[in-house]
Amino acid sequence: MPSVVKTVPMTVRFIHTADWQIGMKASGVGPAGLQVREARLNTIDRILGVAKERGINLLLITGDVFEDNAVDRFLVRKVGDKLSRFPGRVYIIPGNHDPLVPGSVWEHAVWEEASNVSVIREPEPIELDDCILFPCPLKEKCSNRNPTSWIGAGEFEKIAIGLAHGNVEGLPDAAPDFPIPRDAPGRTGLDFLAVGHWHSFATYPGADGAVRLAYSGTHETTKFGERDSGNVLVVEIYERGAAPKLESVPVGRLQWKTEETNLDREGALDSVLTGLNEIPSPESTLLRLRLNGLLYASDRAKLASVEEVISTRFLYGIVDGQSLVPAPEDDSWIESLPVGPVRQTAEKLRAQAVDSSNEEEKAIATQALIMLFELNGRMDEF
């Protein structure tokens, strides 16, 4: 009986990650910087855990594994050792933070020892059993060159996956940061182009709606205000030409939270304190609390409590109350001024700020009161 030749789709599944920035100083968060640095390293284990849970044996790392090429050699060893314990293949491209230059981290012996790990040194196709990789290793810190321009994957039958590091066109950055066209997958014939450099998870759908270009984002958030970071990307491609299936999986251990509250009434800080109690896992949370609006004299003690809770309960906490202004109706601080022309001026300004029917006059008086309040505070410091 003649055998029936049937094309079996070759599904490829892999984890895409980037921008680990191991060795990042995190000096802006005081002693918490130590835990920030440790988390960046230890979250590698969480990534490998995701791979294990899902039976994934391919890990693609698209640049900036290290903060720079001068990081502590012990850190390079630690990363290499962790990756060598992965029971699958690992492909790494150097990024603009850790470019492939003489004396780079990629000359460390651990990369030779870790037989399952390939640091890619040339932009050449790498044929695997079920797919072909098109890697774009960086050899300099910046360039106007599109790192994917050499790729021509169209003629290949296997699923084609690109690895690149740079700035996807249209991102708000004028620096010569290895520009990658939004339609790079279409131009190059890739099924998926895994990119690194930006720390937030981001996808770029093509004309057919399929996403073939994505930033995985960094595995651990690097700073306040970073949107949707602390993930890896699990990618599944059913067959050549099929739309990739993407899943962004959270792996980051530390939460960087920015809370902004507008104080608009006396006692508003009570709800800020209550809100702090509701934040989960404060020991692994870095919190930046921004307070705007009016500060009433009766709330100043509460502000001290808020600062105390934030500094002691959280891994790191900072209260930014620079734009808080004393409530104009609140005259208790005026009463504390020395009797004489300064206090008289303050009282006149307060009367104008509260009672004046002229809006412009009111605004100027309020502004002058605020300046007086600040000057007074500054005088208290001496």
Q: At what angle do helices 268-277 and 300-313 cross, to 10 degrees?
A: 10
Residues in 97-126 at the binding interface with Mn ion, rule: CB under 5 A = none
Report d(CA 37, CA 25) in Å as an integer: 7
Query: Is 228 or 330 the residue whose CB approaches Mn ion more closely?
Result: 228
Q: Does 16 bind Mn ion (CB under 5 A)?
A: no
Number of residues that bind Mn ion (CB under 5 A): 4
Closest approach of Cβ 31 to Mn ion, in Å?
Answer: 27
Structure tokens at 15: 């984890």
- Kindly tell me which residue out of 20, 23, 64, 79 binds Mn ion, with binding defined by CB under 5 A: 64
Query: Is 95 or 244 the residue whose CB approaches Mn ion more closely?
Result: 95
Q: Which of 379, 381, 257, 376 is nearest to 326 (CA)?
A: 376
Closest approach of Cβ 73 to Mn ion, in Å?
Answer: 21
The beta strand positions in the chain, using DSSP E, are 12-17, 58-62, 89-93, 117-119, 126-127, 131-135, 159-165, 167-168, 179-180, 192-196, 202-205, 211-215, 231-237, 245-250, 255-263, 285-295, 316-320, 324-326
Query: Is 25 or 265 the residue whose CB approaches Mn ion more closely?
Result: 25
Closest approach of Cβ 135 to Mn ion, in Å?
Answer: 15
DSSP conformation class of 11? -
- Kindly tell me which residue out of 80, 94, 95, 179 binds Mn ion, with binding defined by CB under 5 A: 95
Residue range at the interface with Mn ion (CB under 5 A); choices 30-38, 71-79, 91-99, 264-272: 91-99
Residue range at the interface with Mn ion (CB under 5 A); choices 61-69, 78-86, 240-248, 291-299: 61-69
Report d(CA 371, CA 281) in Å as an integer: 39
Alpha helices in the chain (DSSP H): 32-54, 73-84, 110-113, 184-188, 268-277, 300-313, 332-335, 341-355, 359-380
Closest approach of Cβ 18 to Mn ion, in Å?
Answer: 8
CA angle at residue 43 from 40 to 45, to 5 degrees? 135
Query: Is 64 or 191 the residue whose CB approaches Mn ion more closely?
Result: 64
Query: Is 37 or 197 the residue whose CB approaches Mn ion more closely?
Result: 197
- Kindly tell me which residue out of 96, 104, 146, 148 binds Mn ion, with binding defined by CB under 5 A: 96
Backbone dihedral angles phi then psi of residue 179, each to the nearest 5 degrees: -65, 135
- What letter represents residue 220's amino acid? E
Residue range at the interface with Mn ion (CB under 5 A); choices 20-28, 48-56, 95-103, 363-371: 95-103
Closest approach of Cβ 381 to Mn ion, in Å?
Answer: 42
Residues in 173-232 at the binding interface with Mn ion, rule: CB under 5 A = 197
DSSP conformation class of 105? G
Report d(CA 348, CA 359) in Å as an integer: 16
Q: Centre a 10 Å sphere on the Cβ of residue 174 and count the other Cβ atoms it contains.
A: 7
Closest approach of Cβ 197 to Mn ion, in Å?
Answer: 4
Query: Is 43 or 222 the residue whose CB approaches Mn ion more closely?
Result: 222
Residues in 262-301 at the binding interface with Mn ion, rule: CB under 5 A = none
Query: Is 158 or 197 the residue whose CB approaches Mn ion more closely?
Result: 197
User: Which residue bears the tokens 């990081």?
Assistant: 71
Query: Is 95 or 282 the residue whose CB approaches Mn ion more closely?
Result: 95
**Position of minimal CB gap to Mn ion:** 197
Residue range at the interface with Mn ion (CB under 5 A); choices 47-55, 94-102, 200-208, 220-228: 94-102
Query: Is 82 or 199 the residue whose CB approaches Mn ion more closely?
Result: 199
Closest approach of Cβ 266 to Mn ion, in Å?
Answer: 48
Backbone dihedral angles phi then psi of residue 91, each to the nearest 5 degrees: -120, 130
Closest approach of Cβ 62 to Mn ion, in Å?
Answer: 9
Contact 232, 249 (CB under 8 A): yes
Closest approach of Cβ 66 to Mn ion, in Å?
Answer: 11
Structure tokens at 129: 């059993």
Closest approach of Cβ 170 to Mn ion, in Å?
Answer: 17
Sign of the C-alpha dihedral computed for residues 137, 139, 142 and 144 taken in this order: negative
Residue range at the interface with Mn ion (CB under 5 A); choices 87-95, 109-117, 151-159, 255-263: 87-95
CA atoms lying within 13 Å on the CB side of residue 267: 0
Residues of the shown chain interacting with Mn ion in the complex, contacts defined by CB under 5 A: 64, 95-96, 197
